[in-house]
């Protein structure tokens, strides 16, 4: 399968929603278009306006993967051994100034290198922007994603309950940029 990794545009919103919703359907997660998923219905407000590059993988005109590079103030620890900290009412990964968000690959497009390609693009952009550390929070059920992050050099550093309506359990990883 050949695919193209590119920046998303407003016209990609429905394709992005369909790709991510396919993963949600696979895991029987609920979908909240007016709440937890509202960002996917207005990329300009949630991503472009914040200078968060939103990448898509496209195959034959169909969005089959997504991923965002978000940035935030450097999250500092209170001690060298501390890996996570409560920051702005959420458990966050220390020594990070950026994060990967909304990384999903459509179930029918998996095991083709799409997730890795999107992550490589996100990391390349993070390096160009001189970020130092990336936090990744991933649902504990996304086993293939965990393998990818670990192969890319991430280390597991903590866990938390997600801010989604179900408070899904997540693992936190640190990935050096």
What is the per-residue pLDDT for 88?
A: 86
Contact of 161 with 170, CB cutoff 8 Å: yes
**Other Cβ atoms closer than 10 A to 152:** 17
Q: In which element (H, E) is residue 117 found?
A: helix 114-128
Digits of tens for pLDDT over the chain (177 positions)?
A: 799 999 999 999 999 999 999 999 999 999 999 999 999 999 999 999 999 999 999 999 999 999 999 999 999 999 989 999 998 889 999 999 999 999 999 999 999 999 999 999 999 999 999 999 999 999 999 999 999 999 999 999 999 999 899 999 999 999 999
**Other Cβ atoms closer than 10 A to 15:** 18
Residues 35, 37, 40, 44, Cα dihedral to 10°? 40
Structure tokens at 137: 């929070």
Contact of 55 with 66, CB cutoff 8 Å: yes
**Other Cβ atoms closer than 10 A to 133:** 18
Residue count (the chain): 177
Q: Is 87 helix (H, G, I), strand (E, B) or coil?
A: strand
Q: In angstroms, rounded to a whole number, what is the distance separating the alpha carbons of residues 40 and 34? A: 10
Q: Which residues is 70 bridged to in the sheet?
A: 99
Spell out the domains of the chain, with CATH numbers in brackets: 4-176 (3.40.630.30)
Q: In angstroms, rounded to a whole number, what is the distance separating the alpha carbons of residues 173 and 83? A: 9
């Amino acid at each position: 399968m050949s695919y193209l990794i590119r920046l998303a545009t407003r016209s990609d919103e429905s394709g992005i929603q369909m790709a991510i919703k396919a993963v949600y359907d696979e895991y029987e997660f609920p979908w909240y278009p007016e709440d937890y998923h509202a960002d996917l219905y207005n990329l300009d407000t949630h991503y472009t306006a914040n200078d968060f590059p939103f990448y898509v993988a496209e195959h034959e005109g169909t969005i089959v993967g997504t991923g965002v590079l978000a940035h935030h103030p450097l999250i500092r620890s209170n001690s060298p051994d501390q890996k996570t900290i409560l920051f702005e009412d959420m458990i966050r990964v220390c020594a990070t100034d950026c994060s990967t968000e909304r990384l999903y690959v459509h179930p029918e497009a998996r095991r083709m290198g799409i997730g890795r390609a999107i992550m490589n693009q996100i990391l390349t952009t993070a390096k160009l922007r001189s970020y130092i550390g990336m936090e990744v929070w991933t649902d504990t059920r996304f086993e293939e994603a965990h393998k990818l992050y670990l192969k890319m050099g991430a280390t597991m550093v903590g866990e938390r309950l997600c801010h989604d309506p179900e408070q899904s359990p997540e693992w936190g990883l640190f990935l050096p940029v």
